A and B are shown apart, each in its own frame.
Chain A
Amino acid sequence: MLSIENITHSIDVWLYGTFNPTAALLLESLIVGLCAITLFAVLGLVLVLMERKVSAYMQIRLGPNRVGPGGALQTVADTLKLAMKEGLTPDGADKFLFNLAPFMVIVVAMLILVPVAFAKGTQIWDINIGVLYISAVSSLSVIGILMAGWASNNKYSLLGAMRSGAQIVSYELSAGLSIISIVTLTGSLRISDIIDSQQDGWWLFKGHIPAMISFVIFIIAVTAETNRAPFDLAEAESELTAGFHTEYSGMKFALFFLAEYVNIFIVCAIAATLFLGGWMPLHIGHWTAFNHAMDYIPSSLWFIGKTFFLIFVIMWFRWTFPRLRIDQLLSLEWKYLLPLSLFNLLLMTLISIKGWHF
């Protein structure tokens, strides 16, 4: 059966058979890098179009429908427009940091991609510390935003960057605690172990109510971490023009935009991995016939389907809820999400020690 696992495996065998190990490793890294960049470009195009269409339908509009069939090429046209634009650097800006910041943001987004399992046996590096690596590296993304905000030498940018920093630093806590509550069930941080442990059902269903609570908390926290509405204070249009990327134009702005959507994809992929079994098809306990039927759907489709479902949910949030004020944002985290997730973690530990989960 043709699957991504077989394809990557045969490429691997062919490379190591043709070249010496160092050259083969280098070539493999090159291929992986190219795939990652391609994935980024495709994700950017697809997700922006999806966002515009979803927002349009939720606001009883039609959305882009002129370029290409049903507006499908709209984002391509937009990208072309952005590529043509002048990348202006303001006079009073710290030029070096100003130009470095978008690359910093996009490189961090690429680094988080490393342990994500896209399909059965398709993972760049099945690192031992999996989810810890993800939460560690994702805390780097705030640096790029702070850098952009400072280097622009603009008050809106600085305010946006500071808000974004406060927001990311606080919401990382509940996101981390939600991850830990699943890790107490799996007993491993490795992504492949986490997925394997969901062979007989996804944690969202196996882990009773605490898993559902931590799923909800995780979704809220990552929505805040990616600076999406209703938590988009960092770029609140009505108050800060565009927040930390006020001064950016052309391709540098496009990189920020791309990083935002790639980050959404990654956090949704992680949520899908932790709570919905990643590429694992829907299995229910020991219903072997049902499980076999589900196995006929390729694992990559399962992964993409779950991830895009979660992305849709996050877009649904964005186009439904009004933006929070900064004090509401912080009190939501520190007074509601954090105590709840700490309590939830205790419950989850109890469940996992007593073995009450399925």
Chain B
Amino acid sequence: MNASAVVFYILSAFILATGLLAVTSRKIFRTAIWLLFSLTGVAGLYFWLGMQFIAAVQVVVYVGGIVVLIIFSIFLTQQSGKDLPSPLRRRTVFSALAACIGFALTCLLLSRYSSFRVKESDYDFAPDMSISAIGNQLLSTSEHGYVLPFEVISILLLAAMIGCIVIAMKSKPGDK
């Protein structure tokens, strides 16, 4: 086991432990913080893989965006510091079952389709992960370009933005 593997296991243990704490904690704010740590751990895993752009995007979107949004909604809605009621026994059993089945399915798929496995030869395959390559790919119109999904998502976001503005806009008194 080399240093890289040690880092991987530490990161994975961190992600799993904080993820478990996030679902078992009785305090809603702590849950959000554990989720934050879990997502940061995933970003760390991306850094470990050398995928720095994805790692940074993970931090920007999930940690800086979504978790902050979650925390804000907790601030605005929840009673401070009160414990959540513990869930129904039935619900606990079912969610544990669902998690187990999902894990089993993932394992099954991974073992069935060995093409997902990392072969020794794959270690030499280093895709061009520089940010300009990603940018070119994202806007390229050639065969493997992503310009169409990019534009579709842009329009979706634009629609969402306009919707937000329309909802938030106060109508002036007098023009009903």
Contact = CB atoms under 8 A, between A and B. Distances in A.
Q: Do chains A and B touch in the complex (CB under 8 A)?
A: yes
Interface of A: 22, 25, 92, 94, 96-97, 100, 127-129, 132-133, 135-137, 139-140, 142-143, 146-147, 150-151, 153, 158, 161-162, 165, 169, 172, 187-189
B126 to A, nearest CB: 13
Grouping DSSP codes into helix (H, G, I), strand (E, B) and loop, the B interface class, with mixed when no group exceeds half, is helix
6 contacts: A94-B27, A94-B29, A129-B56, A150-B29, A169-B68, A187-B132
Nearest to A141: B64
B10 interface: no
A188 B53 CA distance: 13
A191 B65 CA distance: 25
Given A128-B129, A129-B52, A158-B80, A96 B71 contact: no
Interface residues of B, number: 29
B81 A143 contact: no
A188 B130 CA distance: 9
Interface of B: 2-3, 27, 29-30, 33, 36, 40, 52-53, 56-57, 59-60, 63-65, 67-68, 71-72, 74-75, 80-81, 129-132
A147 B64 CA distance: 14
A147 B35 CA distance: 13
Grouping DSSP codes into helix (H, G, I), strand (E, B) and loop, the A interface class, with mixed when no group exceeds half, is helix
B81 A94 contact: yes
A189 B52 CA distance: 12
B118 to A, nearest CB: 22
Given A139-B64, A140-B64, A132 B81 contact: no
Scoring A100, A136, A187 by chain B CB atoms within 10 A of each residue's CB, the highest score goes to A136
A162 B30 CA distance: 17
Scoring B29, B57, B74 by chain A CB atoms within 10 A of each residue's CB, the highest score goes to B29
A57 B53 CA distance: 45
Contacts of A97: 29-30, 33
B59 A162 contact: no
